[in-house]
């Protein structure tokens, strides 16, 4: 086994253990949707995915199942999976008391393991979605390799990520008081010191989480070329930012950056030659 493969395996095990410990806290913070999910992620995904009742949809790395439940409420037949048993247990507990015609099929599946992805079923899903998780996975090649195999010929894959150009560990919030205007106002800045070569590192996702988790930055070209290399094309993209109709006293929050998107959403389909 190469040293890189051994290191990746060690980090992957550590990452899973961290998410097992962080899962309950994240569930309390995300619930049925925090501001990031409700104002940025869900509208972008809905616009690109356009789910229809009766469709079979796979939610990869579903976390506490917040979007899987939204899909099920819209009449989709949903399979939702995550590599964290704790997250799946939380998601299933949130289903207690719900009566669905087509209950959500929750499974523990690691999106970085080809054998586990294969068990979900070739050509089964009209749509696949992966929300805010690609940057948390040490090896995303299996995901991009298997998503095209899991979809029907006319299927689509929508993913959301922290915007790799602006929202990463080497992008820093800054602000200053502009006293040259009347009344004085705070100007907000984003300083980016690196983009192409940011190593894996632990960071904070939600303030107060029990433990820092791993993040794996990838330039946009790396992500898209991986998708293109596995026979997909991109036919839709959105870069949502918080609206500019509110002011926030807390200076270092994405809600004050109305013209810089913290999230990127993209839609991929099978290239015509692969249909």
Give yes or no for residue 9 having a pLDDT over 90.
no
Longest dimension (CA), the chain: 64
Comparing 223 with 180, which gets the higher pLDDT? 223
Residue 1: which pLDDT band, with cuts at 50, 70 and 90?
very low
* Separation of alpha carbons 271 and 275, rounded Å: 7
Q: What's residue 62's pLDDT? A: 98
Q: Are 137 and 215 in contact (CB under 8 A)?
A: no
28-60 pLDDT, tens per residue?
999 999 999 999 999 999 999 999 999 999 999
93-125 pLDDT, tens per residue?
999 878 888 899 999 999 999 999 999 999 999
116: how many CB neighbours lie within 10 A of its CB? 17
CATH architecture of 3-162+197-274: 3-Layer(aba) Sandwich (3.40)
* Separation of alpha carbons 226 and 232, rounded Å: 9
Q: What's residue 83's pLDDT? A: 97
Contacts of 23 (CB under 8 A, 6+ apart): 64, 84, 86, 87, 90
| H helix or E strand, kind and range, residue 18 | helix 3-30
Give yes or no for residue 170 having a pLDDT over 70.
yes
How does the average pLDDT of the chain come out, rounded?
A: 92
**Percent of all residues in the chain with a pLDDT value above 90, rounded to a whole number:** 80
Q: What's residue 141's pLDDT? A: 97
Residue 6: which pLDDT band, with cuts at 50, 70 and 90?
low
Comparing 62 with 176, which gets the higher pLDDT? 62
Give yes or no for residue 81 having a pLDDT over 60.
yes
Q: What's residue 25's pLDDT? A: 97
Residue 246: which pLDDT band, with cuts at 50, 70 and 90?
low
Burial level of 180, CB count in 10 A (0-12/13-18/19+)? Answer: exposed
Instruction: Give me the mean pLDDT over the 237-253 stretch.
Output: 78
Q: What's residue 73's pLDDT? A: 94
Q: What's residue 30's pLDDT? A: 95
Instruction: Give me the mean pLDDT over the 209-217 stretch.
Output: 96
């Amino acid at each position: 086994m190469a040293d890189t493969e051994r290191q990746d395996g060690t980090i992957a095990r550590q990452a899973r253990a961290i998410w097992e410990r962080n899962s309950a806290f994240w569930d309390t913070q995300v619930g049925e949707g925090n501001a990031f999910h409700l104002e940025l992620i869900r509208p972008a995904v809905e616009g690109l995915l356009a789910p229809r009742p009766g469709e079979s949809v796979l939610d990869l790395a579903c976390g506490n199942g917040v979007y899987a439940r939204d899909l099920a409420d819209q009449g989709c037949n949903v399979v939702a999976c995550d590599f964290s048993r704790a997250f799946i247990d939380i998601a299933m507990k949130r289903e207690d008391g719900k009566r669905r015609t087509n209950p959500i099929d929750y499974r523990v599946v690691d999106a970085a393991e080809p054998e586990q992805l294969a068990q979900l079923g070739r050509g089964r899903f009209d749509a696949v979605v992966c929300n805010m998780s690609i940057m948390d996975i040490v090896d995303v090649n299996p995901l991009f390799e298997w998503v095209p195999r899991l979809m029907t010929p006319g299927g689509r894959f929508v993913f959301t990520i922290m915007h790799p150009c602006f929202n990463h560990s080497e992008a820093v919030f800054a602000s200053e008081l502009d006293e040259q205007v009347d009344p004085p106002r705070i100007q907000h800045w984003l300083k980016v010191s690196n983009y192409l070569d940011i190593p894996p590192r632990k960071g904070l996702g939600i303030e107060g989480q029990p433990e820092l988790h791993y993040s794996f930055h990838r330039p946009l070209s790396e992500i898209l070329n991986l998708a293109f290399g596995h026979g997909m094309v991109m036919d839709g993209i959105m870069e949502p930012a918080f609206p500019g109709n509110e002011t926030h006293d807390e200076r270092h929050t994405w809600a004050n950056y109305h013209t810089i998107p913290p999230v990127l959403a993209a839609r991929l389909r099978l290239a015509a030659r692969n249909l």
